[in-house]
Structure formats: C-alpha cells, structure tokens
Amino acid sequence: MDRLKLNEVGFILVNATALSSGGALTILRQFIAHAALTNKKYIVFAPIGVPLDVHANIIYIEVDTKSWLKRIWWDSFGLKRYIKQHNIESELCISLQNTSVNVDCQQLIYLHQSLPFTTVKYTLNKETIKYFLYKWFYKFFIFLFVTSGTRFVVQTQWMKAALTQSGVVEGNISVFTPDIKLPDGHLKKSPEQAQRLTTEQITFFYPASPLFYKNHLLILDALALLKTRQLNKKARFAVTLNVGDYPVFDEKVQQLELSDTVFYLGVMSYEQVIDNYISADAVLFPSYIETFGLPLAEAGVLGKKIICADLPYSRDVLKGYQGASFLNYQDVTKWADEMEFVIGRQIVFDFAPLSFAKCATWKDFFNFI
C-alpha cells in the first residue's frame, strides 16, 4: 500500500468481492499469483477477512458483499462511486466473479459459473428450488451491464458455445484453462503401493461438496446394487464430507445399509486430496452441473481411472484421455457395472497422464489483457 497510491493512473480494476471460498477463491489466488509477475498495477476489490498474498503491484480494498443485496448494490453503484470518490483512472475492469459491473471503462468478465447455462433438467423440490431461481436470477446480472465491447473469458469450449447461444459475439469470448498444479512427488506410486492396490479393498474416491447436483446419491444406489452381486473384493466409497454436512446423503447411507462401505474423509488440505487421488483405484465424478470439473483434470494428470458423467464439460476437460469412462449420470445400472469392472480387474490401471500443455492458461490470459 505504501508503494502504490489510488490516484495513480494506469490501474487495472479487479472486482472479486464474492470470491471467499472453494473454487472461486482458488481462481482469485491463481489470478493474484500471476498478476504479481506482470509489470501492470492492480486494485483488487476483495472479500472481507480472506488472507491474500501481498505484492508490490497490487492494492487490496476489502468490501463486504456477503449478502446478495450488498453485492447487487456494490456491482451496480458502489464500485462506480468508489472510483469517482478516489479519482481512479483505469482503462480496464476485470470481473472475476461472473457478473457484470457498472463501470465506464472496458470490462472483461471471467465467467466460471455454469448453472445459468446448463441444459440439464432436475426435479424441483425443497433442495433444488433455490438453484432453479438462482439459474435465472443470476443470468440477469451476468448480462446487466454488458455492452458490445465487453469481453468474456471462460474455462472450456462448451462454455464458449453456451455464451454464443446467449447472444455474445464469438470474437468477444476467449478460453483459458485454470492452473493444474500438483505437489512435488505425486507422479509415481511406489511398488509397494501398487501391489497393495491389487490385493486390498477397492477404493472409489469422490472429492465433492454436499450439493444435490454433485449426484452423490447415484453412487449410493450403485453401491446398493453391487451388494446384490457376487464380487471378489469389497468396495469402499470415500467422500470429502463430514457426517451432518449432507443429511439426505447420511439418511440414504443408513437406509441402504452402506455404513461399512462409505468413508467420510471430511474437508482436507489440497495435499491430502492429492494423496487420496493417488491411493484410490478409481475417481468418480457423477456431477451434472459443472463449468470445468477440476477433479477430472487433477485425476487425469495423475493418470487415474475416472468414471464420470457423460456431459459436455467432462468431454471437454478429458478430451483424448484413455482412462475415462463416460456414463449417463442417471443410469444406476451402468455406474454399478463400471464399478464392478474396476473391482474385478486383475491389474493396476496405468494410463498416460492427461496433458494441458497445449491449452491457453493464466500466463496467456495476462498477455491477452
């Protein structure tokens, strides 16, 4: 803050007030790490109470937008008023949180929320109604302050296609892949570990939050079906949930008598998640609403067997990867069959790792802006 002053010219404004947790916070931190390597100056409007790395070319302004009303006010009036009050001169505003903002300079929107653009249909009930409303409510704010000169950045080709179908000119949309960085020493399993994987129970790992569209319940139904079959090994379903996070899931575990099959790992560090990828026999990803599906990319880079929903996002991320099985996200029998195949195999899966070397990434993004 001592090195930069708000009334200097040439700042790039970054609206990121809602990126406080999960994948959204990962996007913000990746952006900051790469922004620090450039010779540009940034004012980042950040969420309150989130620790972010300090860099000489970045000023952080914390803004409370924890409620929807506060966020709408900030995006519509607050940001513009702040710019005027502090005499900030900028030629570019980057919205890292999907929605457009009311500014006078050129705007670039980093769009990483797929819900408003998904064509997947789901049953309306107490659990899903807020997402149904969110789908239409949120889309309105994505485009509220968009002009003919607004540029969009998305993570996948399918999202680019979805945007063009919503009326955005194709030339105003660019695709950049998130960073896929794994800890050192992750690439090879030890001989002892490889042998263990062939002799002990079979572990299916699903790193996902407790949201209905993550489709955990499908896997429970598949496991119940597997219990009726003669299998030579025991299945183990490891989830990144705590008991109580997802009551509907917990109830179904009890109802289907799967307490000895489901393992609640809870919230873990990134390194622990990677360790669980490596030790798992297969990674499951039945989610039917995703933009990128980062676990697919991570598991693919590790050369893991992946069983996933057959949808545009998964086909996009795993294009060319030989270790993926794409299944109807509603077909319990097909999921049970594929899981049975994993359980019954005689050798350890060994797939050539997925590579994103030819994809445009954050480095290209900063050259682009």
Is 180 inside any structural domain?
A: no
Domain count, the chain: 2
pLDDT in tens, the chain (369 residues): 445 677 666 899 999 999 998 889 989 999 999 999 999 999 999 999 999 999 999 999 999 999 999 999 999 999 999 999 999 999 999 999 999 999 999 999 999 999 999 988 888 888 888 888 888 899 999 999 999 999 999 999 999 999 999 999 999 999 999 888 776 555 555 444 454 455 579 999 999 999 999 999 999 999 999 999 989 899 999 999 999 999 999 999 999 999 999 999 998 888 899 999 999 999 999 999 999 999 999 999 999 999 999 999 999 999 999 999 999 999 999 999 999 999 998 777 889 999 988 888 898 999 998
Cβ count near 282 (within 10 Å): 23
pLDDT confidence of residue 146: 97
Question: Which residues lie below 8 Å from residue 266, measured CB to CB, with a gap of 6+?
Answer: 240, 241, 242
Answer whether residue 164 is part of any domain: yes
C-alpha distances in angstroms, 328 versus 156, 164, 165, 285, 332? 21, 26, 24, 11, 8
Q: What is the pLDDT of residue 77?
A: 98
Residue 167's contacts (CB-CB under 8 Å, 6 or more residues apart) are none
Which tokens hold the place of 68? 């929807």
- Structural domain of 332: 191-344
Angle at alpha carbon of residue 310, lines to 306 and 312, rounded to 5°:
110
Given this model, what pLDDT does residue 2 score? 46
Q: What is the CATH number of the domain that holds 339?
A: 3.40.50.2000
Q: Residue 69: left (phi > 0), alpha (psi -120 to 50), or beta?
A: alpha
| Residue linked to tokens 């450039």 | 38
Judge if 166 and 201 occupy the same domain: no
**Residue 26 forms part of a structural domain:** yes
Spatial contact of 175 and 132, defined as CB atoms under 8 Å apart: no
Residues 33, 153: one domain? yes
Alpha helix ranges (H) inside the chain: 22-35, 68-73, 79-85, 129-143, 157-165, 191-199, 216-226, 247-255, 270-279, 294-301, 312-317, 332-344, 362-368
Separation of alpha carbons 262 and 260, rounded Å: 6
Return the structure tokens found at 303: 């050369």
Residues 134 and 237 placed together within one structural domain of the fold: no
